[in-house]
Every structure is written in C-alpha cells, then in structure tokens.
Amino acid sequence: MSFLKKILLHKFTVLLALLALCVGGYYGWEAYTKPPLEAKYKFHTLELGDVTQSVSANGTLNPLVLVTVGTQVSGKVIKLYVDFNDRVEQGQILAELDPALLDAQAAQSAASVKSAESSLELAIANEKRTRELFSKEYISKQELDASVQALKAARAALDLARAQSQKDRTNQGYTIIRSPVSGVVVDRQIDVGQTVAASLSAPVLFKIAQDLRQMQIDSNFAEADIGRIKVGQKVTFAVDAFPNNAFVGVVKQVRLNATTVSNVVTYDVVVTVENPDEILIPGMTAYVNVILAEKKNVLLVPNAALRYKPTMPPSKDGKPVMPKKEKKESGSATLFVFENGAPKPVKVSVGISDNRLTEIISDELKEGDKIIVEENKHMTSTTAAGGGSHPPMRPF
C-alpha cells in the first residue's frame, strides 16, 4: 500500500470515529435531558379517610316558642317594668296602662247593678200585689200578665247589669300587662306615655322567647334536594358571629308547603338546636348542612381524577383524535394508573362524595397507589413541539 493511501485511510478512520462520537453524544445528551414519561402526568396517592355527603342551604335562627304579648284594652302606658333581654317569670307584671277611664266605667256599671236590684225589688212587690188583686177579681188577667212580664224584665235587666259590671271589672284587670310565660324579652314596642289602641286586633307590646336554650333554624332547601332530607338526620351549621365554632342540630320537620319566588321552589326544613350557653341569638343567619351519609376509613380520590381522560396520539395526517365515548354505568367510573410507560384504565365503583373527594371501591387499587389526576400541560406542549411520540394508551 502506498504512503498516500495509508494517509487517506487514516484520515477516513479518524473522520468515522469523530462522526460516531458526535452521533453518540447527541443521542446521549438527548436521553440525559429528556424528562421521563411520568413527568407528563400529575399523580395523586390514594389514601384512606373520612367523607361526608350533605346538602346545604341558608336559614334563620328563631326561638322554639315565641309568644307575642298584647293588650285587650286601650289606654296610655303609665309604667314599664321590663326592657330588652330581661328575664321574666310567668305572671310577672310587664307594664301598666292608665286605669282611670276603666275605673269610671266599672263604677258606672256597679251603680247600674244597684239600680237594677231596686227595680227588681219593685217589680217583685208589684207582681205580688197584682196577684192578690187578681185573686179577688179586682183586676183583669191582662193586668196580671203585664206585672209578671215586668218582673221577668227586671230580673233580666239585673243579669245584664251584673254582666256588664263583671266585664268592666275584668277590663280593669287588663290594664296590668302580665307575662303569659317564663322566658326572655326579645322585643319591646311600647314606651311610657304611649297610647295603645285595641281595635280589631290586639297591638303587640312585647315578644318573649320562652327558652333560648333550645332554638330552631328555619331553612329553605331547593326542591332538587328536598327528597333526600328526612326527619332525624344530623345537621351541622355555622354562623357569622362565631366563624370558628361548629354547631350541630337535628332535622325536626320537613314542611310540605312550598314557597315559590321567581319560579324557584323551596321547602322549609325546621332544625332543632341545643343552645346551652345561649350564644346563639334569634335572627342570626345559619349556613346549614344536612348530613345525608358518612363513611369512615374508606379509599378516597379527588373528583378531578374521575374526570381525567388521556390525550390520544395524533392521527397520521396530524389531526387530533377524539377518544371514544364509553358507556358509563351507574355507580362506576374509570381511573388511570401509569404502568409500562402508558396510562392504564382501572374500573372502580364509586360511593358517596362531598363534591371534592369521592369514595371508591376497587379490587385492583389500594392505599398508596398512584393515580393520574391530569396531564402536565407544559410537558405535553414541549413534547409536541419537539416531535416526540405520545405513549400509547392501553385498551380498556
């Protein structure tokens, strides 16, 4: 072999070595910098936990028994013995009205009784004398009958006068306003010097809550939820005044009378509440949750995982391929795990949900397994721009 050929062969060998080194370096660097397939996905590790299914609505706290105190007579308020938030006992005097006019009426009716009694005595004497005269045939039967009727009228007049006197004495008693129940004064609508008029309906003077240690929530639930609410179900609720406190109650009544406002139908659900410390006040807004079901120590997944569907690889012409719609069985769902470089579907049964987490039942999945929640959009776009291939999705 000539010297020139040896030189050319040597150069060719060196060039091949350099080319192999460059190609190997390129693919080695690409393999080093290319993220693993798992980086394309966001995962959630399955855990055991508790889940509560509920329906919610707003309501208002009210006393269990609220008694309205009025008056049956008219008059001017001359004395006031209680104020807002005062505790009262049954029969305790709350206020007094000016009795002057009623005292005069009572005195007048008492005088009428005495007058009627005198008239009756006279009628009795006349009737007796008339009978004697009739027995001696000094007067006619017609005159006797007239005296008998006069006696009956006198007795009726006395009864009427006595009834009116009793009525006036009763009205005298109504000038003293007493509490019909033991409780707390939650509203006072009169002041000293004010005149109250009892006409067709008794005016409201006070409102007394019988016992604030027991209260109720009147809440309005949508017709879509009312079919799942039953008497006796547990209730949790919160109020703005105590945002860090959790309160509980029980469904007492689901009222059948619907309320329709702007074509929206709601039903009143009454919830009983224990209030031993009396920190809950009538009129507070309550944010109510009726507990429909509770599960403890069950396998939970975020609802996003139930909605996830893998991205299909593009077709040969570069157009995106829409995944086939599968028939969704009631109470079942499909989750995806990452196995052998691709998402693998796993059928599961679903239980109750709190709108954030859902209970699942599966023979294949267990605590600690990782499921795909969503795809990393940044990694997906980077792979597509670089012409990388999508991992194949395993068939169902």
pLDDT band at 396 (very low <50, low <70, confident <90, very high): very low
Provide the pairing of β-strand 183-188 with 87-88.
antiparallel
How many domains does the chain divide into?
2
In a domain, 107, yes or no: yes
Residue 85 counted as domain residue: no
Dihedral pair phi/psi, residue 355, rounded to 5°: 75, 0
3-state secondary structure of 188: strand
- How large is the average pLDDT for residues 232-259? 96
Residue 201: per-residue pLDDT: 74
- Using CA atoms, how far apart are residues 39 and 25, in angstroms rounded to an integer? 24
In a domain, 373, yes or no: yes
DSSP symbol at 36: P
Structural domain boundaries, residue 166: 100-174
**Final residue before a domain boundary, out of 115, 146, 174:** 174
Lowest mean pLDDT among 38-42, 152-156, 168-172, 276-280: 38-42
Q: What does the buried/exposed string (b/e) look like for 270-281 if buried means 16 or more CB atoms within 10 Å of the residue's CB?
A: bbebebeeeebb
327: in domain: yes
Q: What is the pLDDT of residue 5?
A: 62
Task: Determine if the pTM surpasses 0.85.
Answer: no
- Single out the residue in 116, 146, 174 at which a domain terminates: 174
The answer on 375 and 303 residing in a single domain is yes
Return the CATH number at 307: 2.40.420.20
pLDDT at position 202 is: 77
8 A C-beta contact, residue 354 and residue 303: no
Domain boundary among the residues 174, 206, 238 is at 174
Task: List, for residues 55-81, the tens digit of each pLDDT value.
Answer: 999 999 999 999 999 999 999 999 999
Q: Is residue 87 part of a domain?
A: no
Measured distance CA(182)–CA(92) in Å, rounded: 9
What is the structure's pLDDT at 388?
A: 44
Angle at Cα 162 formed by Cα 157 and Cα 167, nearest 5°?
Answer: 125
Exposure on the CB side of residue 332, measured as CA atoms within 13 A: 10
Asked whether residue 374 falls in the same domain as residue 310, the answer is yes
Average pLDDT over residues 100-105: 91
Looking from the CA of 114 toward its CB, the CA atoms found within 13 Å total 5
Predicted confidence (pLDDT) at residue 198 exceeds the cutoff of 90: no
Residue 139: which CATH number?
A: 1.10.287.470
Mean pLDDT of 205-233: 94
196 touches 95 (CB < 8 A): no
Cα separation, 234 vs 167, in Å, equals 52
| Residue at 326 is within a domain | yes
Of 290, 286, 287, 285, the residue nearest 254 (C-alpha): 290
Q: Does residue 383 register a pLDDT over 50?
A: no
Distances 53 to 48, 49, 56, 391 between C-alpha atoms, Å: 16, 13, 10, 37
Q: Are 360 and 335 within 8 A, CB to CB?
A: yes
- Whole-number mean pLDDT of the chain? 85
- E-strand ranges in the chain read 41-45, 47-63, 66-70, 75-80, 87-88, 93-97, 176-178, 183-188, 195-196, 204-209, 214-222, 234-239, 242-261, 264-274, 285-302, 332-339, 342-353, 357-361, 370-375
Does residue 215 sit within a domain?
no
pLDDT band at 251 (very low <50, low <70, confident <90, very high): very high
Strand partners, 264: 261
144 — pLDDT class (breaks 50, 70, 90)? confident
108 part of a folded domain: yes
